[in-house]
Amino acid sequence: MTTKHGDACIRCGGTLRYVRKNACVACTKARRSNPAHLARKRERAEQRRREDRDAVLAVKRAYRERMHERIREQRREAYVRMRERTQEQRQAEKRAKQAVRDAKREAKKAARIALTPEERKMRRQIHDRNKRSRTRAAIRGTSGRASNAAILALRHLQHGACNYCLAPVEHLDHKTPLARGGTHTISNLQWLCGACNMRKWAQTDEEYRARYGIRHAWPLLVV
C-alpha cells in the first residue's frame, strides 16, 4: 500500500505515516476491523459472485465438454485393465488373504495354548461372570457393556487384590448396583473378595466407604 507524507489524516487529523485514501495506518486498521465495514465487504463480494455466476457456470460447462472424451477414455482404460486380470490372479489374491486370516487364527490359538491352567480357568470365570452381569443389566434395562479383556485388565490393575481390604479377589462387583440404576461399564466395575462383596450387598461404593471408613482405592482403569 502506498504511503504519503505531509497531508493530515482525513479521520483523526494526525501527521504520522499515511496510506492511500488519505487515512493513517491506525485509522485504516480500525476501519477494517469494524463489523459494519466487514459486513459491507461481504455483501459486495456476494454481489460480485452473483454477477459472475453465469460466467463461472459457462467456464465449468466448457471444462466438462472439453474433458468429456478424456474422462471416457480413462474409464475405458480402467475397464480394460480389470478385464485383463485373469482368473488365476484373482484366485491367488484370494488365497493370499485366506493365508493371512489363517495365520492370525493360528497365532490366537497358540496364545491360548500358552496359557497356564490357572490363567485359562480365570479367563473362563471372567467370561461367565461378565455374561451373567450383561444378562442382569439387560433385564433391568441399563446401558453399557464391558469386554472380557477390559475386566481382565482391571483385575491386573488391582493386582488381584480386593478394592477394599486388599484380600485375594473372588467376585466382580458393580460400584453402583444394577438394582439401583448402575451401568455395566468398566468405570462402574471393581474386583472384591467374598467377604467385602457380601458385606457391601446393595450399597453404593460411596455408601460402603463412608460406613466402614475405607479410603484405600486402586486407580480407575480408563478404557
Domains and CATH numbers, the chain: 3-51 (no CATH), 117-212 (3.40.1800)
Predicted pLDDT of residue 18: 53
Q: pLDDT of 173-201, one tens digit each?
A: 999 999 898 999 999 999 999 999 999 98
* Mean pLDDT along residues 38-60: 83
Left if phi > 0, otherwise alpha if psi is -120 to 50, otherwise beta: which for 61? alpha
Please tell me the distance from the alpha carbon of residue 132 to that of residue 184, in angstroms, as a whole number. Answer: 11
Using alpha carbons, select from 37, 7, 1 the residue that is nearest to residue 22. 7
Confidence of residue 205 (pLDDT cuts 50, 70, 90): very high
Q: Are 221 and 153 in contact (CB under 8 A)?
A: yes
6 pLDDT more than 60: no
Q: pLDDT of 122-166, one tens digit each?
A: 888 899 988 888 888 888 888 788 898 899 999 988 888 998 988
Cβ neighbour number for residue 27 with a 10 Å cutoff: 20
Q: pLDDT of 100-114, one tens digit each?
A: 999 999 988 888 788
Beta strands in 58-166 (DSSP E): none
